């Protein structure tokens, strides 16, 4: 029979606390809401072009007329923000489709966060967002989630694991 001394119990407790604290600081792999996104005013950085491909899930509504905005950026505070990427007359964001945008904004290093904002009553389920640019690696953020109404929703891997690179 194993006999545990108070020192063994204390050591076991400290190990448990340490490993629990380490595990809770790992980044989430699911998208999360962001209650407040600070939009940076006209940045003085040079302008770059980004190709953004947004795939709408097949289980989304047939198409959405909601107002859709996007913001993404890098670890160094460079931010690309486009207030409206939707166009209700063109039936963008149809179920089972991919919409491609050429967006312009400050040049970034590797993109490590992306947030989408939806305002409206139709609803919209995003499959993934793929971002590529002249000075950044191509990166894919896998959502497979309904975007909540009236809140920025997405990923921030700037201080932890990176989003899955595109193949």
**What is the per-residue pLDDT for 27?**
42
Local structure of residue 78 (DSSP, 8 states): -
Instruction: Supply φ then ψ for residue 53, to 5 degrees.
Output: -115, 120
- Report the C-alpha gap between 101 and 50 in whole angstroms: 8
- Report the C-alpha gap between 146 and 123 in whole angstroms: 7
Domains and CATH numbers, the chain: 6-32+44-156 (2.60.60.20)
Structure tokens at 2: 């194993």
Q: Tens of pLDDT along the chain (167 residues)?
A: 556 565 554 445 444 333 333 332 334 467 777 766 676 665 555 689 999 999 999 999 999 999 999 999 999 999 999 999 998 788 899 999 999 999 999 999 999 999 999 999 999 999 999 999 988 999 999 999 999 999 999 999 998 654 444 43
Strand, coil or helix: what is 58? coil
């Amino acid at each position: 029979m194993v006999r545990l001394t108070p020192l063994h119990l204390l050591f076991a407790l400290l190990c448990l606390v340490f490993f629990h604290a380490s595990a809770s600081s790992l980044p989430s792999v699911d998208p999360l809401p962001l209650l407040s996104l600070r939009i940076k005013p006209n940045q003085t950085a040079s302008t770059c072009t980004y190709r953004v491909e947004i795939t709408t899930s097949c289980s989304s509504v047939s198409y959405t007329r909601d107002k859709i905005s996007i913001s993404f950026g890098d670890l160094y505070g460079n931010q690309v923000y486009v207030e409206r990427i939707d166009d209700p007359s063109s039936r963008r964001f149809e179920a089972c489709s991919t919409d491609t945008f050429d967006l312009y904004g400050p040049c970034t290093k590797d993109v490590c966060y992306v947030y989408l904002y939806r305002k409206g009553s139709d609803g919209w389920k995003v499959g993934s967002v793929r971002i590529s640019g002249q000075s950044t690696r191509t990166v894919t953020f896998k959502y497979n989630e309904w975007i909540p109404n009236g809140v920025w929703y997405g990923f921030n891997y700037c201080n932890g694991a990176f989003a899955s690179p595109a193949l």
